[in-house]
Amino acid sequence: MPESQGANATDKTEEKLRANVVRTPPPALAEPQTIVNPVELSRVFKENHMNYLIKFDENGKRTETYVREEKTEAQINKLLANGFLAISETEYQLLIGNIDGQEYIRKSDGTFTPYVPPEPTEEEKAASALEQAKAERAEAVSKITVEVDGMIFDGDETAQTRMGRTIAAAIACGVDLDTETRAWVLADNTVTRVTVRQLSRALRLAGDAQTALWTVPYEA
Protein backbone atom coordinates (compact mmCIF):
# COMPACT_ATOMS: atom_id res chain seq x y z
CA MET A 1 0.00 0.00 0.00
CA PRO A 2 1.37 3.38 -0.90
CA GLU A 3 2.46 5.52 2.00
CA SER A 4 -0.11 8.24 1.23
CA GLN A 5 -2.98 5.78 1.33
CA GLY A 6 -1.88 4.49 4.75
CA ALA A 7 -1.74 8.01 6.12
CA ASN A 8 -5.25 8.77 4.86
CA ALA A 9 -6.62 5.63 6.47
CA THR A 10 -5.04 6.58 9.77
CA ASP A 11 -6.50 10.10 9.65
CA LYS A 12 -9.99 8.73 8.97
CA THR A 13 -9.73 6.34 11.89
CA GLU A 14 -8.72 9.16 14.26
CA GLU A 15 -11.66 11.30 13.07
CA LYS A 16 -14.11 8.47 13.84
CA LEU A 17 -12.61 8.06 17.29
CA ARG A 18 -12.89 11.80 17.99
CA ALA A 19 -16.51 11.80 16.83
CA ASN A 20 -17.39 9.02 19.27
CA VAL A 21 -15.81 10.75 22.24
CA VAL A 22 -18.39 12.04 24.73
CA ARG A 23 -17.18 15.44 25.76
CA THR A 24 -18.00 16.13 29.38
CA PRO A 25 -18.49 19.86 30.02
CA PRO A 26 -16.55 21.37 32.90
CA PRO A 27 -18.47 21.26 36.16
CA ALA A 28 -20.59 24.35 36.65
CA LEU A 29 -19.79 26.55 39.58
CA ALA A 30 -22.15 25.90 42.45
CA GLU A 31 -24.74 28.59 43.06
CA PRO A 32 -23.99 30.56 46.25
CA GLN A 33 -26.26 29.39 49.02
CA THR A 34 -27.90 31.77 51.46
CA ILE A 35 -27.65 30.35 54.93
CA VAL A 36 -30.73 31.28 56.90
CA ASN A 37 -30.21 31.61 60.62
CA PRO A 38 -33.44 30.22 62.10
CA VAL A 39 -32.95 32.26 65.27
CA GLU A 40 -32.59 35.49 63.29
CA LEU A 41 -35.53 34.58 61.06
CA SER A 42 -37.65 33.95 64.12
CA ARG A 43 -36.60 37.29 65.59
CA VAL A 44 -37.56 39.22 62.46
CA PHE A 45 -40.91 37.44 62.23
CA LYS A 46 -41.55 38.08 65.90
CA GLU A 47 -40.77 41.80 65.57
CA ASN A 48 -43.29 42.18 62.77
CA HIS A 49 -46.02 39.84 63.99
CA MET A 50 -46.29 40.27 67.73
CA ASN A 51 -49.34 39.94 69.91
CA TYR A 52 -49.94 41.83 73.11
CA LEU A 53 -51.52 41.51 76.52
CA ILE A 54 -52.97 44.85 77.56
CA LYS A 55 -54.95 46.11 80.54
CA PHE A 56 -57.36 48.98 79.89
CA ASP A 57 -58.64 51.48 82.44
CA GLU A 58 -62.30 52.31 82.99
CA ASN A 59 -62.19 54.73 80.07
CA GLY A 60 -60.73 52.19 77.65
CA LYS A 61 -57.27 53.77 77.70
CA ARG A 62 -54.30 51.43 77.35
CA THR A 63 -52.27 51.02 80.54
CA GLU A 64 -49.97 48.06 81.29
CA THR A 65 -48.76 46.37 78.11
CA TYR A 66 -46.78 43.15 77.54
CA VAL A 67 -45.62 41.29 74.46
CA ARG A 68 -47.39 37.95 74.56
CA GLU A 69 -44.52 36.07 72.90
CA GLU A 70 -42.21 37.12 75.73
CA LYS A 71 -44.35 35.42 78.37
CA THR A 72 -44.68 31.79 79.37
CA GLU A 73 -48.03 30.05 79.09
CA ALA A 74 -48.44 30.24 82.86
CA GLN A 75 -47.71 33.99 82.88
CA ILE A 76 -50.14 34.54 80.02
CA ASN A 77 -52.92 32.75 81.85
CA LYS A 78 -52.24 34.73 85.01
CA LEU A 79 -52.39 38.05 83.15
CA LEU A 80 -55.61 37.07 81.39
CA ALA A 81 -57.10 36.11 84.75
CA ASN A 82 -56.13 39.57 86.08
CA GLY A 83 -58.07 41.42 83.42
CA PHE A 84 -55.54 41.70 80.60
CA LEU A 85 -56.86 41.29 77.08
CA ALA A 86 -55.22 39.69 74.05
CA ILE A 87 -54.60 42.36 71.40
CA SER A 88 -53.31 41.80 67.88
CA GLU A 89 -50.45 43.71 66.26
CA THR A 90 -52.86 45.75 64.11
CA GLU A 91 -55.03 46.66 67.07
CA TYR A 92 -51.96 47.68 69.08
CA GLN A 93 -50.71 49.93 66.28
CA LEU A 94 -54.17 51.53 66.14
CA LEU A 95 -54.17 52.14 69.89
CA ILE A 96 -50.80 53.92 69.89
CA GLY A 97 -51.59 56.07 66.86
CA ASN A 98 -49.47 54.41 64.18
CA ILE A 99 -52.36 53.76 61.79
CA ASP A 100 -53.79 57.22 61.15
CA GLY A 101 -51.79 59.41 63.54
CA GLN A 102 -54.46 59.38 66.25
CA GLU A 103 -54.56 57.34 69.44
CA TYR A 104 -57.56 55.10 70.08
CA ILE A 105 -59.31 53.63 73.09
CA ARG A 106 -61.09 50.29 73.40
CA LYS A 107 -64.82 50.36 74.09
CA SER A 108 -66.56 47.79 76.26
CA ASP A 109 -67.98 46.07 73.16
CA GLY A 110 -64.48 45.43 71.82
CA THR A 111 -64.51 48.14 69.15
CA PHE A 112 -62.09 51.04 69.01
CA THR A 113 -62.78 54.76 68.88
CA PRO A 114 -60.49 57.81 68.66
CA TYR A 115 -59.22 59.07 72.00
CA VAL A 116 -60.47 62.54 72.94
CA PRO A 117 -58.51 64.11 75.83
CA PRO A 118 -60.74 65.31 78.66
CA GLU A 119 -61.28 69.02 79.17
CA PRO A 120 -58.66 70.32 81.65
CA THR A 121 -59.86 71.23 85.12
CA GLU A 122 -59.77 74.79 86.43
CA GLU A 123 -56.69 73.91 88.49
CA GLU A 124 -54.92 72.52 85.41
CA LYS A 125 -55.83 75.61 83.39
CA ALA A 126 -54.47 77.87 86.15
CA ALA A 127 -51.23 75.88 86.38
CA SER A 128 -50.78 76.05 82.61
CA ALA A 129 -51.41 79.80 82.59
CA LEU A 130 -48.85 80.29 85.37
CA GLU A 131 -46.19 78.32 83.47
CA GLN A 132 -46.86 80.39 80.38
CA ALA A 133 -46.54 83.60 82.38
CA LYS A 134 -43.24 82.41 83.86
CA ALA A 135 -41.92 81.66 80.38
CA GLU A 136 -42.88 85.17 79.26
CA ARG A 137 -41.18 86.61 82.35
CA ALA A 138 -37.97 84.72 81.58
CA GLU A 139 -38.04 86.11 78.05
CA ALA A 140 -38.54 89.66 79.37
CA VAL A 141 -35.69 89.31 81.89
CA SER A 142 -33.36 88.10 79.14
CA LYS A 143 -33.99 91.38 77.28
CA ILE A 144 -33.37 93.83 80.16
CA THR A 145 -31.09 96.73 79.31
CA VAL A 146 -30.23 99.75 81.47
CA GLU A 147 -28.62 103.12 80.77
CA VAL A 148 -25.82 104.69 82.80
CA ASP A 149 -24.08 107.90 81.68
CA GLY A 150 -25.30 107.41 78.12
CA MET A 151 -24.07 103.81 77.92
CA ILE A 152 -26.55 100.94 77.44
CA PHE A 153 -25.71 97.84 79.48
CA ASP A 154 -27.17 94.36 79.19
CA GLY A 155 -29.14 93.69 82.36
CA ASP A 156 -30.11 90.02 82.09
CA GLU A 157 -29.22 87.59 84.86
CA THR A 158 -25.90 86.60 83.28
CA ALA A 159 -24.83 90.25 82.98
CA GLN A 160 -25.90 90.93 86.56
CA THR A 161 -23.77 88.02 87.77
CA ARG A 162 -20.71 89.33 85.91
CA MET A 163 -21.24 92.84 87.28
CA GLY A 164 -21.63 91.51 90.80
CA ARG A 165 -18.38 89.51 90.63
CA THR A 166 -16.45 92.49 89.27
CA ILE A 167 -17.81 94.84 91.93
CA ALA A 168 -17.21 92.35 94.75
CA ALA A 169 -13.60 91.81 93.66
CA ALA A 170 -12.96 95.56 93.48
CA ILE A 171 -14.39 96.13 96.94
CA ALA A 172 -12.38 93.21 98.34
CA CYS A 173 -9.21 94.78 96.93
CA GLY A 174 -10.09 98.17 98.42
CA VAL A 175 -9.76 100.07 95.11
CA ASP A 176 -11.38 103.42 94.36
CA LEU A 177 -14.67 102.53 92.63
CA ASP A 178 -14.80 105.91 90.89
CA THR A 179 -11.39 105.60 89.22
CA GLU A 180 -10.90 101.84 88.83
CA THR A 181 -11.99 100.84 85.32
CA ARG A 182 -12.71 97.64 83.48
CA ALA A 183 -13.16 96.80 79.79
CA TRP A 184 -16.83 96.06 79.21
CA VAL A 185 -18.98 94.95 76.27
CA LEU A 186 -22.11 97.08 76.04
CA ALA A 187 -25.53 95.99 74.78
CA ASP A 188 -24.66 97.06 71.22
CA ASN A 189 -21.50 94.89 71.34
CA THR A 190 -19.14 97.84 71.48
CA VAL A 191 -16.21 97.60 73.89
CA THR A 192 -15.48 100.47 76.22
CA ARG A 193 -13.93 101.13 79.61
CA VAL A 194 -16.29 101.75 82.51
CA THR A 195 -15.66 102.50 86.16
CA VAL A 196 -16.63 100.03 88.84
CA ARG A 197 -19.01 102.70 90.16
CA GLN A 198 -20.80 102.77 86.82
CA LEU A 199 -21.11 99.00 86.94
CA SER A 200 -22.60 99.31 90.43
CA ARG A 201 -25.24 101.72 89.17
CA ALA A 202 -26.01 99.49 86.18
CA LEU A 203 -26.35 96.47 88.47
CA ARG A 204 -28.77 98.34 90.73
CA LEU A 205 -30.95 99.40 87.79
CA ALA A 206 -30.97 95.91 86.29
CA GLY A 207 -31.93 94.38 89.63
CA ASP A 208 -34.80 96.84 90.01
CA ALA A 209 -36.05 96.01 86.50
CA GLN A 210 -35.97 92.28 87.21
CA THR A 211 -37.77 92.73 90.53
CA ALA A 212 -40.56 94.61 88.73
CA LEU A 213 -40.96 91.71 86.31
CA TRP A 214 -40.66 88.93 88.88
CA THR A 215 -44.10 89.23 90.46
CA VAL A 216 -46.03 89.69 87.21
CA PRO A 217 -46.98 85.98 86.77
CA TYR A 218 -48.60 85.95 90.19
CA GLU A 219 -50.54 89.16 89.67
CA ALA A 220 -52.33 88.05 86.51
Residues 153, 201: one domain?
yes
Does residue 83 lie in a domain region?
Answer: yes
Does residue 25 lie in a domain region?
Answer: no
Task: Please give the pLDDT value at position 26.
Answer: 46
Q: How far apart are CA 196 and CA 155, in angstroms?
A: 15
Last residue of a domain, one of 114, 134, 161: 114
Please tell me whether the overall predicted TM-score, pTM, comes out greater than 0.75 for this model. no
**82-140 residue pLDDT tens:** 999 999 999 999 999 999 999 999 999 999 999 999 899 999 999 999 999 999 999 99
pLDDT at residue 177 is higher than 60: yes
Counting Cβ atoms within 10 Å, is residue 23 exposed (0-12), middle (13-18) or buried (19+)? exposed
**128-167 residue pLDDT tens:** 999 999 999 999 999 999 999 999 999 999 999 999 999 9
Does residue 28 lie in a domain region?
Answer: no
In sequence order, what are the residues at sequence separation of 6 or more whose Cβ sits closer than 8 angstroms to the Cβ of residue 198? Answer: 148, 149, 151
Does residue 17 lie in a domain region?
Answer: no
**23-54 residue pLDDT tens:** 444 444 444 333 334 444 344 445 557 899 99
Domain that holds residue 47: 41-114
Number of domains in the chain: 2
Does residue 175 lie in a domain region?
Answer: yes
Task: Please give the pLDDT value at position 49.
Answer: 74
Does residue 159 lie in a domain region?
Answer: yes
Residues 103, 57: one domain?
yes
